[in-house]
């Protein structure tokens, strides 16, 4: 059994067992949603080398879309989540085709500015509820049309649905990274002029990666709305964009499991810190950011892989 | 004409003035970003936080320092703050550059962005912890109390001063970089640092000074802003994102370009407030989108 299979099995086992160990399911669901968000982000930064500083735009847009569709239009949750994912993907196509006109630092600034623009739109639109957010999104029955479906009002049912969504999206990302398409993305990250000279339409690949990443970030946002029954401005704020960068960086940029670990650490920390230190939480997040960039660029999983390699060489 | 549009001339002029004030801040801040970017190749995400710190240090100097040193009469006056605060912050910036940023030059430039983002979170969080988010008032210095009557509108003296001061600083910077020997070194260093170093110029020192100067510009803008806007830990965060859009629109290739773009966008924002106020928060971002479609390198930028 190789390491990746082992990782997958550990992940699946941990996900299935976690709520039975007495950990509060809502926190776990938040972790899985943000882990999915971070994995989607990692697909773009870790594997394509594009730093988007506006990924909260897709997370937030899908959260509002799903909330509105389920609450006001009365759509079943599965339809709301799928439509919201497609909506985020479409938004990603628009943002992506604008942002890939510039590279590097400009790319980051453009995505941030576009995300801020959508933030102001949500702030002013009536249906989003402004500062209060879109509250009281019902947890209806999932697949209600088939054999009565699954009752999402039950926390345990909802947990396994959320985990299944995460696992499906995670496998999709894994497949994407290891497909020929993913190899081209990596070549763009490593050496873009060379990828161009080999005849790849780099812009098209970047745009596709961006759309996929945005859609999956949207899936995470829509799922989060169903879990918390709430879509709010926080989801679309640039702080959320910064948080997802932190999760990915802390867990390990360009590693398959890194963002998942990063998301659990960051959510866990925030959860622990919020009661004890209040406003210091932001300072601590900032310090982790600085330490990661200065001394810990491989992240947790990246360091573990490097450690395993070193010991492996010594043994051989 | 005014009657047709249902707008009073007073409303138009006062929004144009607000636009010009905002534009002056955009100009000073985007100029600082451009100067730093030219030399260090990083985007200083903590620029907004450093602007906020400038405003806060001025406020602390005026109201708090006296109590700290046991002499309640002591106040750091507005004029002293205008000089001391940028110097302090410039020194602080140089320490950051030496201890942290200088370790990242060999890596992807994105790490500089991430590091300064982390720093911004720290600064903002610290000031939130000590002073809350509600905001503090900074009294307008007595010299600038009142307004000048221009006939068609009353121009508050302090606002006129802000425009004059920021434009002076902008053009002084332009002169320094485009017309002096030091500026020539700087421009050469932007083009080819290794060659300049080979000629015996101390490039790392130049980089440190450049970052310090950029931070000092942000702090100067902060002190100028203190009497106009409430001094709050959040004052820099949203502003800096708009300034990023300004920088994308103008391109960072030219110093004059940053100044002109900053002022023009401030005015456009002010005009939008008069004619369609709902759009005023997004108008600069919309312009950014249009510029990206038409001229991706920015109005004054060069394709690299």
Closest residue, chain A, to B246 (C-alpha): A113
Q: Does A91 touch chain B (CB under 8 A)?
A: no
What is the rounded distance in angstroms from the CA atom of residue B9 to the CA atom of residue B151?
12
Mean pLDDT of A102-124: 91
Residue B174 token pair: 């332009």
Exposure class string for A254-278: b at 16+ Cβ within 10 A, else e: bbbbbbbbbbbbbbeebeebeeeee
Distance from CA of A295 to the nearest CA of B (A): 10
Distance from CA of B97 to the nearest CA of A (A): 12
Contacts of B123 in chain A (CB under 8 A): 286
Query: Which residues from B are below 8 Å from A when comparing CB atoms?
Result: 37, 41-43, 100, 103-104, 107, 109-111, 113-115, 117-126, 128-129, 237-238, 241-242, 244-245, 247-248, 278, 281-282, 285-286, 288-289, 292-293, 296-297
C-alpha pair distances (Å), B37 with each of A285, B240, B262: 25, 15, 17
Which of B232, B258, B256 shows the shortest CA–CA distance to B245? B258
B175 three-state secondary structure? helix
Q: Measured between alpha carbons, how far is residue B269 from residues A148, B20, B248, B252 in Å?
A: 54, 9, 16, 21
In the prediction, which pLDDT does A1 show?
Answer: 55
pLDDT computed for residue B84 by the predictor: 95
Q: Which residue from B63, B56, B61 is spatially nearest to B81, judged by alpha carbons?
A: B61
Count the Cβ atoms, other than its own, within 10 Å of residue A194: 11
Alpha-carbon distance B14 to nearest alpha carbon in chain A (angstroms): 24
Phi-psi region of B117 (alpha: psi -120 to 50; beta: other; left: phi over 0): alpha
Identify the three-state secondary structure at position B111.
Answer: helix
pLDDT tens digit sequence for B20-44: 999 999 999 999 999 998 888 888 9
Please give, rounded to a whole number of angstroms, the shortest distance from the CA of B128 to a CA of chain A. Answer: 7
Contact criterion met (CB < 8 Å) for B292 and A113: no
CB contact under 8 A, A110 and B288: yes
The two beta strands, A150-151 and B154-156, are unpaired
pLDDT of A143 > 80? The answer is: no
| B65 Cβ contact list (under 8 Å, min separation 6) | B74, B75, B76
- At residue B155, the 3 state secondary structure works out as strand
From chain A, the residues in CB contact with B241 under 8 A are 112-113, 116, 238
Please name the member of A98, A283, A294 whose beta carbon is closest to the beta carbon of B100.
Answer: A294
What is the reported pLDDT for A299? 92
Please say whether the beta carbons of A238 and A54 come within 8 A: yes
Cβ(B298)–Cβ(B248) under 8 Å?
A: yes
Query: Which residue does chain B place closest to A95, by CA atoms?
Result: B289
Joined together, the tokens standing for residue A263 give: 């998301």
Does B1 map to a domain?
A: no
Residue B188 lies in a domain: yes
Q: Which pLDDT score, from 0 to 100, does residue B87 have?
A: 97
A98 touches chain B (CB under 8 A): yes
Q: Is A238 on the interface with B (CB under 8 A)?
A: yes
**Residue A134: helix, strand or coil by DSSP?**
strand
Chain A and chain B share a number of CB contacts under 8 A equal to 120
Report residue B62 as tokens.
């005026």
- Rounded-to-integer distance, Cα A239 and Cα B191, Å: 35
Parent domain of B47: 29-235
A290 touches chain B (CB under 8 A): yes
| Number of independent structural domains in chain B | 1
- What's the pLDDT score for residue A148? 65
Cβ contact, residue pair B285, A114, below 8 Å: yes
Do the Cβ atoms of B248 and A109 come closer than 8 Å? yes
Contact yes or no for B40/B33 (Cβ under 8 A) = no
In this structure, is residue B67 part of a structural domain? yes
- Dist CA A167 CA A161 (whole Å): 10
Is residue B8 assigned to a domain? Answer: no
Judged by DSSP in three states, A112 sits in helix
Contacts with A49 (C-beta within 8 Å, 6 or more apart), sequence order: A188, A189, A190
Average pLDDT, chain A: 90
| CB proximity A266 to B under 8 Å | no
Mean pLDDT of A1-29: 84
Q: Which two tokens stand for residue B127?
A: 């000031």
Q: Are A68 and A42 in contact (CB under 8 A)?
A: no
Q: Do B43 and A109 touch (CB under 8 A)?
A: yes
> Which residue from A minimizes the CA distance to B128?
A279
Eight-state DSSP code of residue A151: E
Cβ separation B282–A121 shorter than 8 A: yes
Share of residues in chain A with pLDDT > 90 (%) = 66
Task: State both tokens at B84.
Answer: 């001391």
Task: Spell out which residues of chain A touch residue B119, defining contact as CB-CB under 8 Å.
Answer: 286, 290
Residue B297 covered by a domain: no
CB A228 within 8 A of CB A152: no
Strand partners, B154: B149
**Best CA proximity match to B38, nearest among B288, B296, B254:** B254
CB contact under 8 A, A120 and B247: no
For residue A141, name the pLDDT band (cuts at 50, 70, 90): confident
Is A263 in CB contact (< 8 Å) with chain B?
no
Is A315's pLDDT higher than 60?
A: no
For chain A, what percent of residues have pLDDT higher than 70?
A: 97
Whether B172 maps to a domain, the answer reads: yes
* Nearest residue, CB atoms, A98 vs list B42, B115, B289: B289
**For residue B304, with 0-12 CB atoms within 10 Å meaning exposed, 13-18 middle and 19 or more buried, which class applies?**
exposed
- Nearest chain B alpha carbon to A249: B114
> Pick from A116, A124, A290: which is nearest to B118 by CB?
A290
Q: Are A250 and A298 in contact (CB under 8 A)?
A: no
Query: Taking CB atoms and an 8 Å cutoff, what residues of chain B touch A108?
Result: 43, 110, 113
> Smallest CA–CA separation between B165 and chain A, in Å?
28
* Residue ranges in chain B modelled with pLDDT below 70: 1-6, 302-304
Residue A112 forms contact with B (CB below 8 Å):
yes
* Record: contact A290-B119, CB cut-off 8 A: yes
Three state DSSP letters for A259-276: HHHHHHHHHHHHHHHHHH
Q: How confident is the model at residue A155 (pLDDT cuts 50, 70, 90)?
A: confident
Which of B103, B125, B247 shows the shortest C-beta gap to A286?
B125
Say if residues A112 and B240 touch (Cβ distance below 8 Å). Answer: no
Burial of A297 (0-12, 13-18, 19+ CB in 10 A): middle
Phi, psi of B196 (to 5 degrees): -65, -40
Residue B34 placed within a domain: yes
Whether residues A238 and B241 touch (CB distance < 8 A) is answered with yes
Residues 6+ apart with CB under 8 A from A203: A100
Is B171 part of a structural domain of the chain? yes
pLDDT tens track for A264-273: 999 999 888 8
Predicted pLDDT at B224: 95
Contact: B43, A294; criterion CB under 8 Å: no
User: What's the burial of A170, exposed, middle or buried (CB within 10 Å: 0-12/13-18/19+)?
Assistant: buried
Residue A186's pLDDT is 94
Rg (CA), chain A: 19
């Amino acid at each position: 059994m190789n390491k990746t299979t082992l990782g997958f099995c550990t992940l699946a086992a941990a996900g299935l067992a976690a709520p039975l160990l007495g950990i509060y399911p809502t926190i776990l669901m938040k972790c899985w949603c943000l882990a999915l968000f971070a994995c989607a982000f990692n697909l773009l930064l870790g594997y394509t080398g594009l730093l988007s500083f506006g990924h909260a735009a897709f997370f937030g847009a899908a959260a509002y879309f799903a909330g509105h569709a389920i609450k006001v239009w009365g759509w079943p949750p599965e339809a709301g989540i799928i439509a919201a994912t497609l909506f985020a993907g479409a938004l990603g196509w628009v943002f992506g085709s604008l942002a890939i006109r510039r590279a590097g630092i400009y790319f980051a600034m453009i995505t941030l500015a576009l995300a801020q623009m959508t933030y102001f739109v949500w702030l002013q639109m009536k249906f989003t509820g402004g500062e209060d957010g879109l509250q009281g999104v019902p947890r209806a029955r999932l697949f209600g049309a088939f054999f009565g479906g699954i009752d999402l009002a039950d926390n345990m049912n909802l947990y396994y649905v959320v985990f299944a969504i995460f696992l499906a999206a995670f496998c999709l990302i894994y497949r994407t990274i290891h497909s020929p398409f993913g190899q081209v993305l990596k070549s763009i990250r490593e050496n873009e002029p060379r990828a161009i000279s080999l005849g790849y339409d780099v812009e098209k690949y970047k745009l596709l990666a961006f759309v996929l990443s945005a859609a999956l970030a949207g899936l995470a946002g829509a799922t989060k709305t169903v879990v918390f029954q709430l879509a709010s401005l926080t989801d679309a704020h640039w702080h959320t964009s910064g948080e997802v960068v932190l999760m990915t960086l802390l867990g390990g940029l360009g590693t398959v499991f890194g963002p998942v670990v990063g998301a659990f650490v960051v959510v866990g920390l925030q959860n622990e810190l919020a009661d004890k230190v209040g406003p210091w939480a932001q300072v601590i997040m900032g310090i982790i950011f600085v330490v990661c960039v200065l001394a810990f660029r491989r992240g947790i999983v990246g360091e573990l892989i490097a450690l395993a390699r070193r010991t492996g060489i010594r043994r051989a | 004409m005014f009657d047709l549009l249902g707008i009073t001339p007073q409303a138009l002029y006062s929004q144009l003035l607000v636009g010009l004030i905002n534009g002056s801040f955009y100009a000073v801040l985007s100029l600082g970003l451009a100067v730093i970017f030219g030399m260090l190749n990083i985007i200083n995400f903590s620029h907004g936080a450093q602007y906020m710190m400038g405003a806060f240090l001025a406020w602390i100097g005026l109201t708090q320092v006296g109590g700290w040193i046991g002499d309640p009469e002591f106040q750091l006056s507005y004029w002293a703050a205008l000089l001391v605060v940028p110097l302090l912050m410039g020194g602080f910036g140089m320490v950051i550059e030496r201890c942290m940023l200088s370790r990242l030059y060999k890596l992807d430039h994105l790490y500089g962005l991430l590091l300064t983002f982390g720093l911004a979170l720290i600064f903002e969080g610290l000031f939130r912890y000590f002073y809350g988010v509600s905001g503090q008032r900074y009294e307008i210095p007595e010299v600038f109390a009142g307004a000048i009557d221009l006939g068609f509108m009353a121009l508050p003296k302090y606002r006129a001063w802000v425009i004059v001061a920021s434009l002076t600083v902008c053009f002084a910077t332009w002169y320094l970089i485009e017309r002096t020997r030091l500026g020539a070194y700087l421009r050469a260093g932007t083009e080819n640092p290794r060659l300049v170093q080979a000629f015996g110029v101390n490039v790392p020192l130049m980089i440190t000074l450049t970052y310090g100067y950029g931070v000092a510009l942000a702090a100067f803008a902060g002190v100028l802003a203190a009497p106009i806007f409430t001094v709050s830990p959040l004052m820099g965060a949203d502003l800096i994102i708009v300034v990023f859009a300004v920088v994308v629109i103008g391109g960072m290739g030219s110093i004059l370009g940053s100044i002109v773009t900053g002022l023009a966008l401030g005015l456009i924002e002010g005009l939008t407030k008069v004619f369609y106020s709902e759009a005023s928060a997004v108008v600069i971002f919309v312009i950014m989108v249009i510029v990206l479609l038409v001229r991706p390198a920015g109005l004054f930028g060069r394709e690299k």
